[in-house]
Amino acid sequence: MCSIFSAVHKETLQRLFPTAKLDEPLRRYTAWKIGGPADALLEPSSAGELVQAVKTALEHGIPVTILGGGTNVLILDGGIRGLTVRLAKALTDVTVTGTSVIADAGVLYPVLANTTAGKGLAGLEFATGIPGTVGGAVYMNAGAYGSETREVLVWADVYKPESGQVERLPNAGLELSYRRSALHDRPGWTVLRAAYALVPGEAGELKARIKEFRAQRMTGSPNRPSCGSTFKRPEGDYPGRVIEAAGLKGTRVGQIEVSPIHANYFVNHGGGTARDVLKLIEYSRETVRDKLGIKLELEVRILGEP
């Protein structure tokens, strides 16, 4: 689907955001390799540029979508209207002072895990299993291997468009729970950076633990494009187990398949569409509900237009 923006609107976007890419295919920026075009895609070089871009967009009535590392997200085939701001590989500073770590929202979580382990700081090793960004990890209270972001997070700087201000929210103020934070209920709030409190550790041992986690992930994850975990954990169970128990491993819609390796991963065999993903998601939910009486809740975020 082509952008609904007219040539005049595109000229406005280019004038307001001269470094943005117009009609940029978002499948290039998502782990699923799926997604229609962004009317304008901006990769800011600083938190200040990000804040100014959001302010400018809202002043001109242009919708804003924040995209992290492109994991845990399904961008629909019609793409995203207005301004899309991509943080991964843009906001990437990390500062370590003693056992305190401050990382920009665009820092990839596995990179942060390796950086802190290399400096002999323990607490973020689990992050090697989360292929997203710091901003996304705060937004989702990302976790793996029995640990979660909220266990080590101290505060996050959040831009609030309604006030035009950046506020430092403490851990408690972010209302972190299982794969959720206060940001879910406040559209437009954007994480700029986050601070972590870690503890001293032996660098070699920490790197070895990260290597073990990485090996586990490689063994239990399919080697094809996916968003990561499609569904959240149902009460007292695991989504991969219940999807497999419902006989859905290997089920396919178009080029999208319930992975035979891990049933909570829906993989793209090449050229898959968001429409196919949504069909497979709905079929899987209905089948699990009908056969096992279990309701599956999406973990993946859905963005854009059909």
Q: What are the residue numbers of the active site? A: 179, 229, 299
Q: What single-letter amino acid sits at 97?
A: T
Looking at the DSSP bridge assignments, the partners of residue 38 are: 24, 80
What does the block give as tokens for 246?
């419902």
The CA-based dihedral angle spanning residues 233, 238, 244, 248, taken in that order and rounded to the nearest 10 degrees: 0
3-state secondary structure of 146: coil
User: Which residue from 239, 306, 244 is spatially nearest to 276, judged by alpha carbons?
Assistant: 306
Is the separation of the CB atoms in 26 and 68 below 8 Å?
no
Q: Rounded to an integer, what distance in angstroms lies between the CA atom of residue 7 and that of residue 63?
A: 17
Widest CA span in the chain: 58
Give the CA count within 13 Å in the CB-facing half-sphere of 122.
Answer: 10
DSSP strand pairing (153-160 vs 190-197): antiparallel
User: Which residue from 40, 16, 46, 43 is spatially nearest to 166, judged by alpha carbons?
Assistant: 46
Is the separation of the CB atoms in 284 and 296 below 8 Å?
yes
Looking at the DSSP bridge assignments, the partners of residue 298 are: 231
